[in-house]
Structure 1
């Protein structure tokens, strides 16, 4: 990333942060907007219409499936209460306006039998927050303590509409059967009652309204679902004039809010009281100043400039830290790559004439394009291999630095020397700020700078040039290749696998000294197992690359160096070996100008390296000893049948 881009980015961050701070500062005291009337609507058969945090449960009350059970039809369920979980506005303290409100709910009272039933349930308004008294009773629907004609006082004052299913002998005058009634802090002395038969166990709908002008509270009930053998009845209504709710509710009500909900309790007998749905609306809006919610919002607005400034400082610190990480990354990479020279992209571009097509080398490897370059300061020609992000494997992106370190430390006369490397990082603003991720490395182009080997590769000399490569040079090339592999497999600690042995990766200098190229790159690139025609069948089967896999590829390469072009496959050479006619396989372009013993030994060594049983293949050290010491030929047929003569190869 250029410095100018970083400067632009920093200025944008600064401007955005300051703008947010100023905007927040100017909105500390926004003009008041008209608030909508307070309301809620819960359908307990549809979980999308409510959240449990909107409701407060006490005692045995709970949501069970699609219904709220206030109590249940077993003796252990004695008291249950469900209320709205937040305060409900009933009057405005600033204007003294009293709210009109209405609530509608569907419910069921399921009695086990008409002779032994529970006490019923009640809709209530009380002080906020809603609380269950210490010793609730069934006769009082769990609204207040006591079991008689006690009246709630102080914080226990309430307004309720009762749905009574018990023949309350203590009520005066004694009601006849089930009834609904309006209570003010006392159940024994209801203001008004109306008889209603709840014994049919059908679903009912109740509507309760309060008019702030007439101060009338009206409650009506109708059956929406008749029990078996019963018919639906018309609505039953009860009403009473309450007066000012502010004088009827607890002193806490002076702040203008109340708790609303349902309460039920069982005594010696029991029944199931259920709420199916519930809606409520008040003509006033949700609580506003001086309630805590408003103070919190006002406090947050006052804090906005401070928060904006804090964000600006944090972003500034992050930019500074990112810049420091950016500058120190080069030193860190140099350590992780063993100190091999890291070129600048501009240096490589200048050395290769900006990677022109004239500098592109013919026969570039599978790992990427190769360009010829010249460094004046070094006074030497180089080969620059370009490895794009698309040709690198996922693991290769992580192992890249380790691979560069491994290649740079491998020093041998028959290995192509790594002169240096370069990473042209495709950094973006996101990569710069998220420096802890590896995305920048994954998206970067990697260049490996090698010594330039000026006589082409072995494939060109074997199959493309008209001039025939003489046997003496071929035999020297064989020994050079084995010498390089002995170094990689046995003289390096830990050992290094080449993974991609083939004629293209054997480079020749002017004296026809062979140098292995592209060793160690296979884990870094998607071509992780070399060319399929040179790949060990065992490796293809298991996916595991071992030293014996390099040995197999070496065997095929030896057969290609020695035999005729159309008869250098393992199967054809094996058949000739079994017929004792190996010399008929020798490359006829040599016109018999070769040492027959050397020719035979190299062909047999190729067969030995290509044995399908990896346990009978030689190590490259054994292969080198076989070439140099002129020992007896191995008996391949016997060794293929028994693996006791050769140890298990990695």
Structure 2
């Protein structure tokens, strides 16, 4: 059983943690257990990893000014294990726990989260947990690969009361959250037999972890009381009858029960958090003319409920569908962000905030957005001729030299606008042939601004985690971590070489010195064979001066 706050929660991890068969350790046990810590001092509880006591509170993960708080894991538990249910009589304990905590994030979007748990005592060792997704309970996948913004922050103050009634098998949670002078109160109850999900002996406590995104988890107070009535006549009585467990008959249903019990606490947090996030997005996104907000039902109707038959393609952050917008009487490209995407929500917000401000004939126009039903959807103008790479390497129509050269000029115009002509410098960070769309006249339009960064013109660079696609990333960006105008120009040059050569930027089957397109072209240039790289599909029908210009700029 676990309560957690989590940006991208993973119930499978919870089920795994609750169902692992453990080797029991010889530790103190209690048929009754009670404690009350309105604040904390050394020796009150057991802490592991990066957890520590600071000013009467417990910092579950790292909270240091002069050190990196990323990839921090901490765990806090009571010194005593408790008997949740008696193995002989099968009697269950009643328990009540109350705790309050604060989650502070310098970033607008939270990191991985925090959990309150009852679990088998032999949890995975913290040294084996290196990422934030497992919440310090199990090893989990990284959820983000970008450094969060440090310009905004939130402080959330939460108080919870969790009660379990063994006679009715009722698990109830009262949830109160204080944020920005608002108070959110929720209540939920669920009938669950904890004997089906937990061993008789359990350990209880809190755990948290951070990945590339981080937040500070502060436990302010904690009280707990448990009572299990002992029975000396256990051997004379038959064990308490246990209702037929359908999980023994149907393992799939048993898994579902475990899944639902894990979601009891998750539901409360996500419902209130999602409500707040929608309001935050609405406040930040542009209003008035230009891109607008769509309802989920509108977009589901436009794409025939996101049918496979309407899918145009699948990218790293989600799938793109063709849809017909009845109110606008036009087709649109509708991108549904994948719920499994490591960067999904952050890319969604970045895309809307950046591209909605840009206006240029060689940029894909954003029509609108939607964030409902835990879905994040972007709506773009429809590009009937698809992406550049689908023509260079796919089965779509052959591109003549005149069309190719015009595409190169259009992309150059877009890059000039982003770097010099708009009020801020936009570093795209993912310029590649699959992100260059072609309209009905084969004019180039640069799209996918989910990784983009805005910097002042005089600065012209931003230190960040490496983002982009292999073969397009500038060597100096890869080594320094600084995304610059020049790193985007390098990616632009690679696309120019693709246009000229008709070859992918990386060919793994090629000779070692020819795997990357840039190395191959440079090798031919050094041998004085600079036009041998030209796409043979052109059959020599190209302007030689334009071709040389394109290749020279490319490498």
Greater strand content: 2
Greater helix content: 1
Bigger Rg, structure 1 or 2: 1
* TM-score range normalised by the length of the shorter chain: 0.3 to 0.5
- Give the TM-score normalised by the residue count of structure 1: 0.39
